[in-house]
């Protein structure tokens, strides 16, 4: 067990070799005297190896005399022996103490700032703002007022609805989210038109308020007025402006074009591997082997390993191992019919994910062509959907 190993290390122990013809009697007498032996390895009929604590080792003298065996110390292990060595290596102790002091000192600084959260947030915008507030790599942790900083970000940066900041080791982690900006609804007392959101063929127009200016079968383009909020009459001196409202259904077309090579190159590992180690301290890095990668085609596998962790804090020291695995590019001819089916399903799925709620599919068309060994799949889906949106009359 780990606890016992740690206990033995702090007590101190020795690894001994016992030679003689009465090894079984040696072990039995040791147990009878309460001497604990562990990790016993027997090499041959007359030799074995074992570990014993310092106190037990002193008690072995009487056992050795009685059984007539010879005992040799192979290695001394544990904390007491380490302290004994350090008594004669004061500069080493001093250097170690200085190193620990430097490490503890370095952990009191922020060495990295990471921004996570909403994809619409520009990380550089947050980092630049923090820099203006003098929050940048190299700042002391004690100088950061997280509560005040969060309030400042919410106050000064538009569209940020949530901020959370946390110091993890030597990293300042900033999580932000953008508020969902909904288009402001036009009040009922504000004059407006209903215009087309996209190009479409009119299928049906129901004008609940305002005047319909298009009919079934008309082709309209984006931004074109469908239901006008400007009512003109000979009896009126000036046009009457109203808040137009209604439903306009239009026939629209969604198209996706996908390309896939018929002869595809795949990467197959050869088993050869080339490793490069990199030491990273904060934002600075040093390659231990800066030779060229000996492979023409390869894939990279990168693993990070933190060097030191003290009191739960990860120091800005890490080793990055870059493994470059050699690959061969093998040409494989794909089954064209299977590829057509796969691309067709993929294209339809992509379009269906874009369709607005309430859209009704009325037709689907898939066309294929081959150019320069590339299969081109063109998926067209025709739907009927609401195409009107309100726009203020300027």
Tens digits of per-residue pLDDT, 12-63? Answer: 888 888 888 888 888 888 888 888 888 888 888 888 888 888 888 888 888 8
If one counts every other C-beta atom within 10 angstroms of the C-beta of residue 316, the result is 22
* Beta strand pairing call for 374-386 and 360-371: antiparallel
Residue-range domain boundaries for the chain: 1-83, 108-178, 192-251, 263-333
Question: Which pLDDT does position 284 carry in this prediction?
Answer: 66
- Check whether 310 has a pLDDT greater than 60: no
The encoded tokens of residue 48 equal 């074995």
Best CA proximity match to 340, nearest among 377, 372, 371: 377
- Check whether 377 has a pLDDT greater than 70: yes
Distance CA 27, CA 22 (A): 9
Q: What is the mean pLDDT of residues 371-377?
A: 92
Distance CA 225, CA 204 (A): 15
Q: What is the pTM of this model?
A: 0.50
Identity of the highest mean pLDDT range in 106-110, 166-170, 210-214, 232-236: 210-214
Q: Positive or negative CA dihedral for 26, 31, 33, 36? A: positive
pLDDT digits (tens, 9 = 90+) for 51-101: 888 888 888 888 888 888 888 888 888 877 777 776 777 777 677 778 777
If one counts every other C-beta atom within 10 angstroms of the C-beta of residue 272, the result is 12
Q: What is the mean pLDDT of residues 231-255?
A: 87
If one counts every other C-beta atom within 10 angstroms of the C-beta of residue 256, the result is 17
Question: Which pLDDT does position 182 carry in this prediction?
Answer: 58
- Check whether 250 has a pLDDT greater than 70: yes
Going by the DSSP 8-state scheme, the letter that residue 270 receives in this structure is E
The pLDDT confidence band at residue 311, using thresholds 50, 70 and 90, is: very low
The pLDDT confidence band at residue 374, using thresholds 50, 70 and 90, is: very high
Going by the DSSP 8-state scheme, the letter that residue 350 receives in this structure is H
Question: Which pLDDT does position 72 carry in this prediction?
Answer: 85
Helix (H) / strand (E) containing 95: helix 90-106
The fold adopted by the segment(s) 108-178 is: Ubiquitin-like (UB roll) (3.10.20)
Task: Give the relative orientation of helices 23-32 and 54-67 as an angle to the nearest 10 degrees.
Answer: 130
Question: Which pLDDT does position 204 carry in this prediction?
Answer: 93
- Check whether 345 has a pLDDT greater than 60: yes
Which long-range contacts (C-beta less than 8 Å, at least 24 apart) are formed by 268-272?
268/327, 268/328, 268/330, 269/299, 269/325, 269/326, 269/327, 270/326, 270/327, 270/328, 271/326, 272/325, 272/326
* Beta strand pairing call for 245-261 and 13-19: unpaired
Going by the DSSP 8-state scheme, the letter that residue 79 receives in this structure is H
- Check whether 314 has a pLDDT greater than 60: no
Question: Which pLDDT does position 18 carry in this prediction?
Answer: 85
Contact 319, 277 (CB under 8 A): yes
Distance CA 225, CA 274 (A): 65
- Check whether 312 has a pLDDT greater than 60: no
Phi-psi region of 246 (alpha: psi -120 to 50; beta: other; left: phi over 0): left
The pLDDT confidence band at residue 3, using thresholds 50, 70 and 90, is: low
Identity of the highest mean pLDDT range in 53-57, 296-300, 378-382: 378-382
Tell me what the pLDDT averaged over the chain comes to: 84
Residues 52/53/59/60 CA torsion (nearest 10 deg): 20
- Check whether 181 has a pLDDT greater than 80: no
> Under CATH, which architecture does the 1-83 domain have?
2-Layer Sandwich (3.30)
Q: Residue 132 in 3-state DSSP?
A: helix
Contacts of 393 (CB under 8 A, 6+ apart): 191, 192, 193, 229, 230, 241
């Amino acid at each position: 067990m780990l606890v016992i190993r740690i206990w033995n290390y702090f007590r101190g122990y020795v690894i001994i070799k016992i030679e003689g013809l009465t090894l079984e009697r040696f072990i039995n007498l040791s147990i009878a005297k309460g001497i604990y032996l562990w990790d016993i390895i027997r090499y041959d009929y007359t030799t074995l190896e074992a570990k014993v604590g310092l106190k037990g080792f002193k008690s072995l003298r009487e056992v050795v005399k009685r059984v007539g065996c010879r005992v040799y110390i192979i290695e001394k292990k544990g904390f007491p022996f380490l302290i004994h060595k350090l008594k004669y290596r004061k500069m080493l102790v001093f250097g170690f103490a200085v190193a620990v002091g430097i490490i503890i000192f370095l952990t009191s600084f922020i060495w990295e700032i990471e921004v996570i959260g909403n994809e619409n947030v520009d990380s550089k915008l947050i980092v630049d703002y923090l820099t203006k507030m003098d929050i940048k790599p190299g700042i002391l942790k004690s100088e950061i007022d997280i509560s005040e900083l969060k309030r400042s970000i919410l106050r000064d940066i538009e569209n940020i609805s949530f901020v959370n900041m946390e110091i993890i080791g030597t990293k300042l982690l900033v999580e932000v989210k953008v508020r969902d900006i909904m288009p402001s609804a036009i009040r009922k007392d504000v004059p407006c038109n209903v215009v087309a959101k996209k190009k479409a063929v009119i299928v049906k127009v129901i004008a609940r308020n305002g005047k319909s200016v298009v009919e079934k079968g008309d082709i309209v383009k984006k931004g074109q007025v469908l239901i006008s909020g400007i009512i003109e009459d000979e009896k009126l001196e000036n046009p009457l402006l109203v808040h137009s409202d209604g439903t306009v259904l239009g026939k629209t077309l969604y198209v996706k074009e996908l390309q896939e090579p018929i002869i595809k190159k795949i990467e197959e590992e050869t088993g050869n591997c080339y490793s490069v180690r990199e030491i990273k301290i904060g934002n600075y890095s040093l390659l231990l082997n800066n030779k060229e990668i000996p492979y023409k085609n390869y894939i990279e596998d990168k693993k990070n390993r933190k060097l030191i962790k003290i009191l739960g804090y990860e120091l800005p020291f890490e080793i990055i191992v870059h493994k470059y695995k050699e690959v061969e590019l093998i040409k494989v001819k794909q089954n064209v019919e299977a590829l057509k089916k796969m691309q067709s399903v993929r294209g339809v799925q992509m379009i269906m994910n874009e369709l607005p709620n309430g859209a009704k599919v009325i037709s689907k068309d898939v066309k294929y062509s081959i150019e320069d060994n590339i299969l081109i799949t063109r998926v067209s889906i025709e739907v009927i959907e609401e195409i009107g949106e309100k726009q203020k009359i300027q």
